[in-house]
């Protein structure tokens, strides 16, 4: 199978990035500045990310009544979709019948449809899942003619306002549609870095022009997937396939906040999603492991797959690291992983295995860096 390219490939090439294959796409992992500089620039100013590999999906109700699609999606996702106001979005997960996670996504409610942004690696599976499960009530369409650009960082609003002044009216997790030239942009005030910013769906043929207009601004630099990963790790956000997958429940993953009260036991629309019995049970009774933040106490990064122990001799296994590396803003190593309840308390000392040695790690609050959203 050949490697796919996003509509922005040609413009990236001009900046001569280091490339990486990610979910079947050839993507910039870093540009000339390097991951640490790109990361810091995002937290201090604004960076541009090509996230066109992600899946953009439109769900419409066959009845023509949009609330029918919202009700149908609640059959797959434990989030409150019917209660989501128009022009708002929220985070949700597709659950398995066993209460694991098939994918995580953002779900935007628009007047006549739902707009979902899903992970590149899960795009095909998600569309199949939606089409199969909702075939009687909904039409499900993968958007193939649009790129997706994220601008992230405290100067994002200043930059975007020059092109579409209306974006200043959006708060965190608001969505809107705005025209720039002849292009209609689908804009959400969100991102995956812990910073203020926008995720912008743009027609593919206008994507390079939009990228150029933004990247030429003084505040804005391009950033690759390397910085996207260190930013989301510091922000304590899950990477599907690493921190969450079909074996982890949303409760174990610390995503109970994405299951609104109305969908929990005792709520007016309780349950009704795959795996609801396990998930409801876990919300009431707790889990045998949970996702936590981990701060290695030395300088050595502790990466995905490292085993965690409760003692320096490595006799008592307590869990495993699912994401880890160097946090440029923290200026030290940061990790996330799963541990048992007796080790999950903030401040607990555990030990991570690195090249056969056990190094001390402190269980820490997530996120590692306070969020900077415009609420």
Residues with Cβ < 8 Å from 310, sequence gap 6 or more? 316, 317, 318, 342, 343, 350, 351
Under the criterion CB under 8 A, does residue 303 sit at the interface with other proteins? Answer: yes
- Minimum distance of other proteins from residue 299's CB (angstroms): 5
CA pair distance 239, 241, nearest whole angstrom? 6
Measured N-to-C along each axis, helices 225-234 and 35-44 cross at an angle, to the nearest 10 degrees, of 60
What backbone phi and psi angles, to 5 degrees, belong to 64?
Answer: 85, -10
Q: Which stretch binds other proteins (CB under 8 A): 32-40, 132-140, 260-268, 274-282?
A: 32-40
Query: Is the Cβ of residue 154 or residue 332 nearer to other proteins in the bound state?
Result: 332
The closest of 277, 237, 283, 292 to 260, measured between CA atoms, is 283
User: In sequence order, which ranges of the chain are alpha helices (DSSP H)?
Assistant: 9-14, 35-44, 66-73, 123-133, 156-161, 204-215, 225-234, 276-285
Task: Tell me, residue by residue from 241 to 280, as one string, x for binding to other proteins by CB under 8 A and - for no binding.
Answer: ----------------------------------------
8 Å CB contact between 57 and 140? yes
Neighbours of 323 (CB within 10 A): 21
Residue 298 is classified by DSSP as S
- Minimum distance of other proteins from residue 193's CB (angstroms): 15
Q: How many residues bind other proteins (CB under 8 A)?
A: 17
Under the criterion CB under 8 A, does residue 330 sit at the interface with other proteins? Answer: no
Instruction: Tell whether the torsion through CA atoms of 168, 172, 174 and 175 is positive or negative.
Output: positive
Under the criterion CB under 8 A, does residue 360 sit at the interface with other proteins? Answer: no
Query: Is the Cβ of residue 7 or residue 325 nearer to other proteins in the bound state?
Result: 325
Query: Is the Cβ of residue 205 or residue 299 nearer to other proteins in the bound state?
Result: 299
Residue of 11, 23, 29, 71 interacting with other proteins (CB under 8 A): 29
Instruction: Tell whether the torsion through CA atoms of 158, 53, 79 and 195 is positive or negative.
Output: negative
Under the criterion CB under 8 A, does residue 17 sit at the interface with other proteins? Answer: no
CA pair distance 79, 5, nearest whole angstrom? 33
Under the criterion CB under 8 A, does residue 333 sit at the interface with other proteins? Answer: yes
Under the criterion CB under 8 A, does residue 337 sit at the interface with other proteins? Answer: no
Query: Is the Cβ of residue 20 or residue 262 nearer to other proteins in the bound state?
Result: 20
- Minimum distance of other proteins from residue 40's CB (angstroms): 11
Task: Tell me, residue by residue from 44 to 83, as one string, x for binding to other proteins by CB under 8 A and - for no binding.
Answer: ----------------------------------------
- Minimum distance of other proteins from residue 19's CB (angstroms): 12
Q: Which residues bind other proteins (CB under 8 A)?
A: 18, 29-30, 34-36, 226, 230, 299-301, 303, 325-326, 328, 333, 355
């Amino acid at each position: 199978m050949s490697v796919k390219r996003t509509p922005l490939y040609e413009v990236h090439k001009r900046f001569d990035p280091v490339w990486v294959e990610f979910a079947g796409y050839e993507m910039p992992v870093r540009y000339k500045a390097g991951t640490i500089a790109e990361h810091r620039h995002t937290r201090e100013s604004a960076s541009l990310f090509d996230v066109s590999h992600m899946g953009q999906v439109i769900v419409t109700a066959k009845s023509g009544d949009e609330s029918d699609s919202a009700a149908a999606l609640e059959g797959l996702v434990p989030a409150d979709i019917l209660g989501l106001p128009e022009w708002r979005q929220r985070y949700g997960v597709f659950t398995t019948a066993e209460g694991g996670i098939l994918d995580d996504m953002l779900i935007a409610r628009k007047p006549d449809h739902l707009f979902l942004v899903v992970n590149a690696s899960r795009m095909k599976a998600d569309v199949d899942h939606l089409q199969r499960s909702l075939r009687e009530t909904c039409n499900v369409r993968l958007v193939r003619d649009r790129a997706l650009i994220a601008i992230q960082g405290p100067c994002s609003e200043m930059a975007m306002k020059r092109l579409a002044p209306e974006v200043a009216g959006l708060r965190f997790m608001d969505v809107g549609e705005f025209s720039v030239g002849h292009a209609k942009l689908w804009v959400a005030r969100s991102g995956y870095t812990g910073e203020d910013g926008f995720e912008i769906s743009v027609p593919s043929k206008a994507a390079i022009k939009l990228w150029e207009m933004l990247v030429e601004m003084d505040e804005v630099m391009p950033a690759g997937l390397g910085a996207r990963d260190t930013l989301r790790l510091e922000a304590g956000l899950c990477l599907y396939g690493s921190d969450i997958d079909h074996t982890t429940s949303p409760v174990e993953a610390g995503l109970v906040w994405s299951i609104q009260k109305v969908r929990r036991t005792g709520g007016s629309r309780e349950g009704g999603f795959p795996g609801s019995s396990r998930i409801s049970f876990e919300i009431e009774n707790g889990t045998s492991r949970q996702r936590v933040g981990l701060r290695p106490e030395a300088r050595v990064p502790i990466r995905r797959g490292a085993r965690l122990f409760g003692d320096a001799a490595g006799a008592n296994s307590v869990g495993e690291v699912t994401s880890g590396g160097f946090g440029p803003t923290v200026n030290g190593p940061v990790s996330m992983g799963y541990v048992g309840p007796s080790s999950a308390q903030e401040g607990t000392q555990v030990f991570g295995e690195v090249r056969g040695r056990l190094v001390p790690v402190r269980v820490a609050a997530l996120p590692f860096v306070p969020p900077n959203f415009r609420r």
